[in-house]
Chain A
Amino acid sequence: MPQNANLSDVITLISDIKHGKVFSSYEIALRTENLLEKVISEEKWANAKELMQQIKGKIQQVTQSLPLETTATNIMRHILKVIREECDQVSKKKGEGQSLHQLVTADQSEERDYSESHGDLKNCLLDHLTEYKVELETSTENIAAQALEHIHTKEIILTVGKSNTVEKFLKHAAGQRSFQVIVVEAGPLYHGHKMAASLALSGIQTTVIPDSGVFAMMSRVNKVIIGTHSVMADGGLRAASGVHGVALAAKHYSVPVMVLAHMYKLTPSYVCSHEKDTFKMCASPANIIPYSTGPLLNKINVYNPIFDYVPPELVTLFISHQGGNAPSYVYRLLSELYHPDDYELY
């Protein structure tokens, strides 16, 4: 019963996401963080184990209703890791701290018993959460601050569709360097148009090209800078439909592909994972072939996929608020963010 009561806040969050009241991943991240703060400070939990159970329940609820909403689940997983770390630290204070020998000979099957209660666990967690919140809020600026290292004068940058992170990145660099941007339209929703308009307003020289022109223009491009929906555990991307083609063209011309990704976008799941329909998620075909077409529609099936998978070989660099990383390093970042026991929570 207390389980059900706790799920109501998650259900509200899910419903808001579905209704489109919270849209960008940044907003979802902030909402999740608020939710976790409330859980830790207001809900009743006796020890770390109970708290973790509650959070796991929430993760399951979100995964069931919105299998694609990895932002919320990733942040919750990170909090689980933080809880475990705090417990470890407190219990290790009683001992001598983990020596190298202990790390090497540590038995994986040792079940950490998290059922000891700690008085100041709550305060530690809340402190951590405040730090994390600050980190979240400043992550976009931190990424943008690295722009000057990557964008040089007179370069031609290619980007696909609309991404808030990429926009801020480019605008930051435009303050001090002059360069050109080519924006790919990204059908069938053509978000690239809005991106181009916004960039042009800040004085960046922008060109819009259709999706079919990517290969032709790629030989002139110096760098490809894109955002993504999430980063898979192998270093591949789950990005908007059409990005795979751009990445392939870039590979052909050996143009570096840089992906701007916040830490909460790193997902501990792979492509052929348990979430059955993630890459087959399709939106309404009316964006491609209108409903008014007539009897042709009785005979055909139209698919309008939302996401693309980009394999890790096609990505050159991941830029997060901590700096740049190669795709082959993603597994290490994952192990720092999440505890292996929390990878699969279905």
Chain B
Amino acid sequence: MSIKTKEVLKDDIVQAVVVADTFGDEFLPISSDIPLALFPLINKPLIDYTLEFLSFGGIEETFLFCCSHTEAIKSHINQGIKDGAEWSLTMKVNVIVSESCHSFGDCLRDLDRKGILRGSFVLLEPGTLSNIKLLPIIRKHNEIANKDKGAAMTLIFQESGIGQMGRDPNEEAVVAVNSSNRILFHRKMGQSRERKIEFPLEIFLDNSSVSLHHNLKDTHIAICSPSVLPLFSDNFDFQTKDDFVKGLLMNEEILGSTVYCHITKGNNYGGAVTDWRMYQAVSRELQNKWIYPLQPSVLRNNILKNGVIVGKGVHIKDNKNIINSVIGDNVHIGENVQIRDSFIFSNTKINDGVIVTHSVIGPNCEIKSKTKITVGSIIGKGVTLEKEHLIEDTLVQATEPENCDPKDKLDKKAFRLKVTGTEDDLGKILSKKLSRLHIEDNRPEESDDDAFSDSEDEELSYTQSPVPDDTKLFFTEVIDSLTRGFEDELRCEHLILEINSSRYAYNVTVREVNFNVIKAILHMSLRLSTGPQYFSQFVRLLSYFAPVLKNYIRNDDAMLDTLQAVEDVAISNENVNEKWVMFVLKWFYDKDYISEDVILEWSKTLDAKSRFYAQVKPFTDWLEEAEEASSSDED
């Protein structure tokens, strides 16, 4: 068996498919001039990083699928091969052009028709960067495919903490995996506002061990078996890879195909630039060496203080206000310019007094003095902004868009671009917030609150009743027993028996028993109807429970517990007045349940300023006088 697989592996060259277009409008207006593959990521086109990653991973032949700006991509690849770029030595890159494809699925159907792929291949979604060594994972996939004939795809995930910048909030995924790494359940929470997930019961019944993962980040890398392309061709509604996975999992019995997963550990990283926020995150991670050995080119870039990277030929008059930004080649920056957390592409001129925060300025732009560009604005290629515009959370492009409002014209070479969506307003606002550049760490949590406020309330009410601990259960049981006993006129010995058995059931200590019993009786007294008859009823209640009291209040400690119970009840109930406290204390004193020494000692431990102390004071004063009187009598 192993000899056969070795032979098979020798014949197959490892191939990879990279789809270079996103087919969406996430990157407008810059993507109307530059294809995603050639977006500069720290001054090097994105596709270069992807190809470097593939060649390090051991891939020998790559098919690059382009649907727009194909000439630019082709000439870039050819230039790379001519210059002897490293990936070109070990990997052959074929550019496949297809102008008629409108989605990821269409591209794969096209590939299926062409029939150029043999064996298992690696499938990358657009804008993927990684440092994962692919060959061992491909080998593992082939082994799995030998055992399970229906294994279609192995998705690669990376362990990632929630709230981390690199983890796309649009792609929160919950995955259920069994012990052989087969995916049983896969849901991308993304923009849906539901906080509850329903797992089908079968996955737990059919598998001996299931692990649920919410700590995974989709690396957008998948190892596919040869059966994947025909599956795409058969099902025309598979438009994206997520559709494919969802479809396969839903129709497992019909299609007979399974999806596996591989979770990378250690310093393996995988991520894709799917929107501006991920562009910012991947750029930050590239800078911080998470994707080692992929790193910003040391030759082309200079690293300045405050986390700023600049390209070649950059002129900056004064860089003390430039923080955490990436500046492309040949950029001229004037005086008093503040640039924070932004990306400025090449050949742009920024004049004095401009403020740019959390935005992207495209290539060949000119920003005249005192303009303010903030809050996730994207300026397209070739835009000229005259003085003193305030651009906030807007897309600006150089040429006039269709259906342009006159008020959208900012300048003769600057037009506001509106991107229409089909979702409801809240969904659109949320998705926009999640996909534009990350502003601060606090902000996303706020926006989460806005969107998820109702479900959050539900959660709060859920957690408001804490898990009752045993003492409280004991207390409720005691009150129940005593109430029942009083109403049904049960004998006190039986009540004592009940209380003692409850005590053992809840493992309550002796002192707590005393405390809770007294507390229970006092609580019962509070339920009595108020009025002139109150105290006589109270007396009746207390006398009825006399044997119980006698049983539990036997020593000094118990007396202290009793007093504490009184204190507890008095403090927790505001209706309790001084008269009640006095009455209770006097009754206990008269019936000789509590000795005066203990009362006096206890009163000294009370907080002098509390209301309760004021209520107790008259009684203790009276006691002291009585004591003196009695002792003087004795004398």
Task: List chain A positions with a Cβ less than 8 A from chain B.
Answer: 4, 7-8, 11-12, 14-15, 18-19, 64-65, 67, 276-277, 282-287, 290-299, 301-302, 304
How long is the Cα–Cα vector from A291 to B263 in the complex, in angstroms?
Answer: 13
- Of all chain A residues, which has the CB nearest B438? A298
Say yes or no: A298-B269 contact (C-beta < 8 A), given A7-B84, A284-B291, A284-B292.
no
What are 8 residue pairs bridging A and B, where the CB atoms are less than 8 Å apart in the complex? A11-B84, A64-B299, A282-B289, A284-B269, A284-B289, A287-B266, A290-B159, A298-B163
B288 lies within 8 A of A301 (CB): yes
Beyond A282-B292, A292-B160, A295-B165, list 19 extra A-B contacts (CB 8 Å): A4-B84, A11-B84, A18-B56, A19-B90, A276-B298, A283-B267, A283-B289, A283-B292, A284-B290, A284-B292, A286-B267, A286-B268, A291-B161, A291-B164, A291-B269, A291-B290, A293-B164, A295-B161, A297-B166
Interface presence of B215 (CB below 8 A) = yes
Residues of A close to B131: CB separation below 8 A: 284
Contact of A19 among B55, B158, B215, B268 (CB under 8 A): B55
Would you list which residues of chain B between 18 and 71 have a CB under 8 Å from chain A?
Answer: 55-56
Whole-angstrom distance between the Cβ of B89 and the nearest chain A Cβ: 5
Give the size of the chain B interface in residues (CB under 8 angstroms): 31
Interface presence of B86 (CB below 8 A) = yes
Interface presence of B247 (CB below 8 A) = no
Say yes or no: A291-B289 contact (C-beta < 8 A), given A11-B89, A19-B56, A64-B299.
no
A297 lies within 8 A of B165 (CB): yes
A284 lies within 8 A of B267 (CB): yes
Whole-angstrom distance between the Cβ of A346 and the nearest chain B Cβ: 12
- Of all chain B residues, which has the CB nearest A276? B298
Interface presence of B162 (CB below 8 A) = yes
How long is the Cα–Cα vector from A286 to B86 in the complex, in angstroms?
Answer: 25
Residues of A close to B298: CB separation below 8 A: 67, 276-277
How long is the Cα–Cα vector from A46 to B354 in the complex, in angstroms?
Answer: 60
B290 lies within 8 A of A295 (CB): no
B299 lies within 8 A of A302 (CB): no
How long is the Cα–Cα vector from A141 to B158 in the complex, in angstroms?
Answer: 45
Say yes or no: A285-B289 contact (C-beta < 8 A), given A19-B56, A277-B298, A299-B441.
yes
- Of all chain B residues, which has the CB nearest A4? B84
Whole-angstrom distance between the Cβ of B212 and the nearest chain A Cβ: 16
How long is the Cα–Cα vector from A302 to B55 in the complex, in angstroms?
Answer: 27
How long is the Cα–Cα vector from A283 to B269 in the complex, in angstroms?
Answer: 13
Interface presence of B256 (CB below 8 A) = no
B164 lies within 8 A of A295 (CB): yes
How long is the Cα–Cα vector from A304 to B288 in the complex, in angstroms?
Answer: 10
B290 lies within 8 A of A18 (CB): no
Contact of A297 among B55, B90, B159, B164 (CB under 8 A): B164
B293 lies within 8 A of A18 (CB): yes
How long is the Cα–Cα vector from A297 to B299 in the complex, in angstroms?
Answer: 27
How long is the Cα–Cα vector from A14 to B162 in the complex, in angstroms?
Answer: 39
A293 lies within 8 A of B289 (CB): no
A15 lies within 8 A of B292 (CB): no
Chain B CB count within 10 A is highest, among A14, A18, A64, A282, for: A18
Would you list which residues of chain B between 579 and 622 have a CB under 8 Å from chain A?
Answer: none
A291 lies within 8 A of B163 (CB): no
B159 lies within 8 A of A14 (CB): no
Would you list which residues of chain B between 298 and 350 have a CB under 8 Å from chain A?
Answer: 298-299, 307
A8 lies within 8 A of B84 (CB): yes
Whole-angstrom distance between the Cβ of B146 and the nearest chain A Cβ: 28
Say yes or no: A292-B159 contact (C-beta < 8 A), given A284-B290, A286-B266, A286-B267.
yes
Residues of B close to A297: CB separation below 8 A: 161, 164-166
How long is the Cα–Cα vector from A299 to B288 in the complex, in angstroms?
Answer: 12
- Of all chain A residues, which has the CB nearest B266? A286
How long is the Cα–Cα vector from A277 to B292 in the complex, in angstroms?
Answer: 15
Residues of A close to B268: CB separation below 8 A: 286
Whole-angstrom distance between the Cβ of B166 and the nearest chain A Cβ: 8
How long is the Cα–Cα vector from A291 to B159 in the complex, in angstroms?
Answer: 7
- Of all chain A residues, which has the CB nearest B292? A284
B84 lies within 8 A of A298 (CB): no
Would you list which residues of chain B between 270 and 303 have a CB under 8 Å from chain A?
Answer: 288-293, 298-299
Whole-angstrom distance between the Cβ of B21 and the nearest chain A Cβ: 28
Whole-angstrom distance between the Cβ of A276 and the nearest chain B Cβ: 7
A15 lies within 8 A of B89 (CB): yes
B161 lies within 8 A of A294 (CB): yes
B86 lies within 8 A of A15 (CB): yes
Whole-angstrom distance between the Cβ of A35 and the nearest chain B Cβ: 15
Residues of A close to B307: CB separation below 8 A: 301
A285 lies within 8 A of B266 (CB): no
Whole-angstrom distance between the Cβ of B611 and the nearest chain A Cβ: 46
Would you list which residues of chain B between 431 and 474 have a CB under 8 Å from chain A?
Answer: 441
A298 lies within 8 A of B159 (CB): no
How long is the Cα–Cα vector from A277 to B298 in the complex, in angstroms?
Answer: 8
B290 lies within 8 A of A285 (CB): yes
Whole-angstrom distance between the Cβ of A62 and the nearest chain B Cβ: 13
Residues of A close to B290: CB separation below 8 A: 284-286, 291
Contact of A298 among B86, B164, B215, B289 (CB under 8 A): B164
Whole-angstrom distance between the Cβ of B446 and the nearest chain A Cβ: 15
5 interchain residue pairs of minimum CB distance: A294-B161, A295-B163, A286-B267, A284-B292, A284-B267
Residues of B close to A285: CB separation below 8 A: 288-290
Residues of B close to A18: CB separation below 8 A: 56, 86, 293
Whole-angstrom distance between the Cβ of B502 and the nearest chain A Cβ: 45
Whole-angstrom distance between the Cβ of A290 and the nearest chain B Cβ: 7
How long is the Cα–Cα vector from A341 to B84 in the complex, in angstroms?
Answer: 29
Residues of A close to B267: CB separation below 8 A: 283-284, 286-287, 291
- Of all chain A residues, which has the CB nearest B133? A20
- Of all chain A residues, which has the CB nearest B264? A291
B292 lies within 8 A of A293 (CB): no
How long is the Cα–Cα vector from A201 to B601 in the complex, in angstroms?
Answer: 75
How long is the Cα–Cα vector from A206 to B290 in the complex, in angstroms?
Answer: 35
Whole-angstrom distance between the Cβ of B267 and the nearest chain A Cβ: 4
Whole-angstrom distance between the Cβ of A342 and the nearest chain B Cβ: 22
Residues of B close to A67: CB separation below 8 A: 298
How long is the Cα–Cα vector from A142 to B608 in the complex, in angstroms?
Answer: 88
Residues of A close to B165: CB separation below 8 A: 295, 297-298
Residues of A close to B89: CB separation below 8 A: 11-12, 15
B86 lies within 8 A of A293 (CB): no
Whole-angstrom distance between the Cβ of B217 and the nearest chain A Cβ: 8
How long is the Cα–Cα vector from A139 to B509 in the complex, in angstroms?
Answer: 79
How long is the Cα–Cα vector from A12 to B215 in the complex, in angstroms?
Answer: 40
A295 lies within 8 A of B158 (CB): no
Whole-angstrom distance between the Cβ of B215 and the nearest chain A Cβ: 6
How long is the Cα–Cα vector from A292 to B89 in the complex, in angstroms?
Answer: 35
Would you list which residues of chain B between 141 and 187 have a CB under 8 Å from chain A?
Answer: 158-166
Whole-angstrom distance between the Cβ of A8 and the nearest chain B Cβ: 7
Residues of B close to A8: CB separation below 8 A: 84
Whole-angstrom distance between the Cβ of B29 and the nearest chain A Cβ: 28
Contact with A along B62-96 (1 / 0, CB 8 A): 00000000000000000000001010011000000
How long is the Cα–Cα vector from A277 to B55 in the complex, in angstroms?
Answer: 25
B441 lies within 8 A of A14 (CB): no
Say yes or no: A286-B269 contact (C-beta < 8 A), given A8-B84, A18-B86, A297-B164.
yes
Whole-angstrom distance between the Cβ of A285 and the nearest chain B Cβ: 6
How long is the Cα–Cα vector from A277 to B289 in the complex, in angstroms?
Answer: 14
Residues of B close to A14: CB separation below 8 A: 86
- Of all chain B residues, which has the CB nearest A10? B84
Whole-angstrom distance between the Cβ of B33 and the nearest chain A Cβ: 31
Residues of B close to A287: CB separation below 8 A: 266-267
